Structure 1
Amino acid sequence: MSAGEAVEELLARVTPDRLDTYEALLRALADSELWMLLWQGDPGEPDAHYGGIEVAGHGYAPCVTSGPELTASGWNRAYEVVPGRDIAAALYPDHWGLWLNPHAPGGGLGVPWLDLRRIAGGLDRLPAGPLRISEPSVGVESFYARLVALGQRTPVLRALWRAWVRPALGVSYLAIGLDVDGPPENGAEAVRAMMREAITEVPEGLAVGTVAMADGYDPVAMWLRANTRPFYERDAPALGRAPAGDRRGYGYPRAY
């Protein structure tokens, strides 16, 4: 079975309660080619741009999954054939998703930009959505204390955040947000060393992941910034001088 055939076979079986099938569809899309419909211009021309569909306030670029589907769609303008992983990487930074086979019975299927980000960045590296994110309730104070102590000795680290993440598929995990000076790669090795040392305090069976707070497209980082405060801040005022209203806020740095 070719990648294109796999996409179409899986597309016919995707239902809201079959997230495993949808995940398999994303894997097939990553390895397939897609026929992107050009609303204006020809491939490679400066004025060429894809068509657009808006659903529930979100933008999607329409495409078809094979030559036969292109014929069935009746599309009579230009198009270009693009590897799935490449088009995913091109669309998600502008918060655009893909709409597969809009001419098909039922209107086809939309792939949101967050899933395109997973296709571009690696499906095994990023958790399957939709994610349920909340403040953590697991009792791992020694782990947090170790992170704070090590963070104070890691000059590139500005702040540490935490959240509990429940992916649509796979195990729930404790996410640690890492806010570092400059581009994340600058202090990558120092931060990795910090996490390797601190992880020894994590009880067996508890999964822990990290998220770069500088990643403006990561849903966990976005949730953390919108809903919580860091549990360690390098430049925070000393506890004794903090405004009274701040001391009881979630995650305010405290002495361990």
Structure 2
Amino acid sequence: MSAGGSVEQLLRQVSPGRSDTYETYESLLRALAESRLWMLLWNGQAGSPDAQYGNMEVGGYGYAPCVTSAQELAASGWNRAHEVVSGRDIAAALFPDRWGIWLNPHTPGGGIGIPWLDLRRIAAGLDRLPAGPLRISEPSLEIPQFYALLTQNAHHTPAVRSMRRAWVHPALGVPYLAIGLELYDTAPHSVEAARQMMRQSISAVPDGLPVSSVAMSDDYDPVAMWLRSQSRPFFDRDAQGVAAAPGFGYGYPRAR
């Protein structure tokens, strides 16, 4: 499907920095996932070993410039080669190196940038990952029963090395409690053991409270990045004295 219709229409409706455009921006991401993009090549030809996308830096972040249709390509005046790629494919190719795309930089206003975190969402599935920008903080919920059961089950799950927690408020959707899981390894049986631990613990979660787990080994997950830099474990198998206080300590709300 060509990107020339819905993508270009949505681009005209997105105003950077305005919260009332988050839903429109989300629609733009969905359209990009199903569309084609004309990636501008600085070197080489499409499909050649020396092909290299153009690059630009905005706010300290890297972007590969592109246009959204053959008509926009002609309007841009680009006189080097280009490559036509699906939005989902270019998202999967660029986000691991933390590169975003910049749509139609030649247009009045300079176009719109799609950062690498949103390319990651396009590649993985927009419904699977929360919409940014995310507001992340320490949880203030007083749910000691859940933390106590989770810690107890973690003690009986040797694959789990440590656990952290965060309160995540996406740009769209309801806030939720995130549990960061650090495993000793990411073998399938270890991952399944951690999932089973979460399933066994979820019964202690109050009704209506969404809970999600986050792999601490994911170098691209913004919640995992926040947890690594801003929080300490509330369960740490390798630390001394963890088993002595499963119901209180860092990461647990103090009983009133």
TM over 0.5: yes
Q: Distance in 1 between matches of 2:199 and 2:51?
A: 48
- Displacement of 1:193 in angstroms is 1.1
CA contact (8 A) 1:184 1:212 kept: no
Q: Deviations over 1:129-152 (max 9, x none)?
A: 010000000111110111100001
CA contact (8 A) 1:36 1:81 kept: yes
Q: Which runs of 5+ in 2 are unaligned?
A: none
1:112 pairs, out of 103, 111, 115, with 115
1:188 maps to amino acid:
V
1:197 pairs, out of 185, 197, 200, with 200
- Distance change in 2, residues 1:249/1:205 (3 Å): closer
- Displacement of 1:182 in angstroms is 1.5
Q: Distance in 2 between matches of 1:69 and 1:79?
A: 12
Aligned residues: 247
- Distance change in 2, residues 1:184/1:172 (3 Å): farther
Q: Deviations over 1:196-252 (max 9, x none)?
A: 1100000011111111000001110000010111100111112599xxxxxx98438
Q: Distance in 1 between matches of 2:32 and 2:221?
A: 21
- Distance change in 2, residues 1:239/1:50 (3 Å): closer
2:150 pairs, out of 137, 147, 152, with 147
1:84 maps onto 2:87 in alignment: yes
CA contact (8 A) 2:215 2:224 kept: yes
The percent of aligned pairs where both chains have the same amino acid is 65
- Distance change in 2, residues 1:240/1:100 (3 Å): closer
2:12 maps to amino acid:
A
Q: Distance in 1 between matches of 2:148 and 2:121?
A: 32
CA contact (8 A) 2:46 2:81 kept: yes
Q: Which TM-score applies when normalising by structure 2? A: 0.92
Match of 1:14 in 2: 14
- Distance change in 2, residues 1:3/1:111 (3 Å): same
- Displacement of 1:191 in angstroms is 1.2
1:132 maps onto 2:127 in alignment: no
Whose RCO is larger (CA < 8 A, sep 6+)?
2
Match of 1:245 in 2: none
Match of 2:35 in 1: 32
Q: Distance in 2 between matches of 1:88 and 1:150?
A: 38
